[in-house]
Amino acid sequence: MAHGELVFAPLGGIGEIGMNLSIYGFGDARRRQWIIVDCGVSFASEEHLPGVDLILPDIRYLIEERKNIVGLVLTHGHEDHMGALIDLWPRLKVPIYATPFTAALFEARRASEPGAPEIPVQIVPVGGSATLGPFVIDFINVAHSIPESNALAVRTPAGTVLHTGDWKIDPTPVVGAPTDAAKLTALGDEGVLALVGDSTNAIREGRSPSESEVAKTLAELIRTAPRRVAVTTFASHVGRLRAVAQAARGAGREVVVVGRAMDRVVQVARETGYFDGIQDFRSAESYGHLPPEKVVALCTGSQGEPRAALARIAEDEHPDVTLSRGDRVIFSARPIPGNEKAIGRVINGLIELGVEVITDRTHLVHVSGHPRRDELRDMIGWVRPRILIPAHGETLHLAEHAELARRAGVPKVLVCRNGDLVRLAPGEAEIIDELPSGRLYKDGALVIDAEARTIAARRRLSFSGIVSVALAMTDKGALAANPEVELIGLPEVDAGGASMAEIALRAVEDAFEALPKPRRRDPDEVAETLRRAVRGAIAERWNKKPICHVHVLVV
């Protein structure tokens, strides 16, 4: 048994940023036990996936293997690592392990979701460990943009893997301890078989600046602001929220939290001790009663989310909070790719109100929570893995991380894709199989298969609209009433000013008239003939073909 196989497979998070889910298996091929690391979401962009709120990893394979899964471990509380759990856990019902802040944040998220099931989480102390079947997992503290980010040292009889999770090196983080270099070095001394590591910033040279630098800039910008200040950042960035709170206190200003997601995080941070020493905040309703030079509003909406606080403030539609000429808004965040347009809309709205907008283009008001190239080299130096697998990145980031690792002397570097099953030991590491993998969509209250035609149909509808035709005929094939057409999402008139509805109606009548009586007996054939006629007639004027539904009723 001591010489069973150790395998790794990413089911999300490779070749993309988001939707992280990895599994490790130990044992021989027919009797493997598995752990899952993380279960995150990606955010859908409106144009490609109309109406889809979130993208989740397809866990078909895990459902099949459910009885062999000994646990699911969360590295930290970001949505791209735990955001799919509320929807997917009921299909797995495996024990979840997390450190206290992550567990509390997860529970707060779950409680805010109407109808979400109870989901128990086993709490692992910070710096602690958990034994799950043949896996002994040490949680090693790493700095990141949320408290309690953990690298996982996954020990098995076939060797140890370091799964870095999201990390950076920050000698002076605003919350939590710095990345535990001593523990990582000790692990390297023991011998590390493989490192599965964060590639997000593998194309950026040097080192990422410290959170403390950002805190200084924020303090200065809040101190010198002539009137009201609003700061927006990621709701879960407790270090940044702390920095703003301290800056506000230093400037003699009250803090008002605006936005439910941020309220939730503030509550969790107070419960778990990450807000110790931080003053009480004021409610959003008290904003209007505070003098402009005595307030800092902490707002959700750094990604331009249209329903979040800042977008509503920029539209001058927030019930409690307004901004006007001479006020200052600080974007203490970076756009997640895909959100640039939405953020631009918010910034433009604010500028139209006369508000001064400060972003990381001109001031150090944000730093990434991920390691740049020198930091990646440090990690490799500490851990000295025999194998390195780049993770958490788009294809370019993975390739750059791989190249850096080769140059740093890692003997075996393996770039894989979602679904690849990699044997790490025994023998040379290689991809030995492909597991079912893919995506699911959160569509309103339902989770649907990405392969289903729903979203493709919705995209077609949004491109060319729909024509709906109703026609009633007798069983002898005579019209029983005037046919009706309804157009949704089509131009109302053609270039010559003729009504598109008229054009569709005439096409229906002409096609029906032209159809020989015997062929009118089959309602399906009638429907298909009319459908083609309508699409053809519209396309002649429009150069686009709408979806067309024909209902033939025999009376």
What angle separates helix 395-407 from helix 373-383, to the nearest 10 degrees? 50
Local structure of 446: helix, strand or coil: strand
> For residues 434 and 428, what is the distance between their CA atoms, to the nearest angstrom?
18
Minimum separation from the CB atom of position 220 to Zn ion (A)? 27
* CB 282 to Zn ion: min, Å: 29
Residue 392 CB, nearest approach to Zn ion (Å): 6
b/e string for 245-275 if b means 16 or more Cβ within 10 A? bbbbbebebbbbbbbebbbbbbebbeebebb
Residue numbers 319-348 binding Zn ion by CB under 5 A: none
Pairing of strands 229-232, 328-331: parallel
**Can residue 375 be called a binding residue for Zn ion (CB under 5 A)?**
no
Write down the least CB distance from residue 346 to Zn ion, Å. 23
Number of H helices, E strands in the chain: 15, 27
Between the two ends of the chain, the Cα-to-Cα distance in Å is: 74
Polymer length of the chain: 555
- Nearer to Zn ion by C-beta: 12 or 259? 12
Rounded to 5°, angle at Cα 214 from 211 and 217: 155
- Using CB under 5 A as the criterion, what x/- string covers residues 228-267 for binding Zn ion? ----------------------------------------
Cβ 81 to Zn ion, closest distance in Å?
6
Residue 75 near residue 81 (C-beta atoms within 8 A):
yes
User: Which range touches Zn ion (CB under 5 A), out of 70-78, 171-179, 244-252, 287-295?
Assistant: 70-78
**Smallest separation (angstroms) from Zn ion to the CB of 166:** 3
Total residues interacting with Zn ion, rule: CB under 5 A: 3
Q: Which range in 166-174, 189-197, 416-424, 535-543 contacts Zn ion by CB under 5 A?
A: 166-174
**CA–CA gap between residue 34 and residue 133 (Å, rounded):** 9
Residue closer to Zn ion, measured from CB, 143 or 221: 143
Nearer to Zn ion, 78 or 168 (CB): 78
| Region 71-100 residues binding Zn ion, contact defined as CB under 5 A | 78, 80
Compare residues 78 and 531 and give the one whose CB is closer to Zn ion.
78
Residue 502's region, left for phi above 0, alpha for psi from -120 to 50, else beta, is: alpha
Using the minimum distance from each CB to Zn ion, give the nearer residue, 80 or 254. Answer: 80
CB of 180 to Zn ion, least distance (A): 17
Binding mask 270-289 for Zn ion (x = CB under 5 A): --------------------
Q: Which residues bind Zn ion (CB under 5 A)?
A: 78, 80, 166
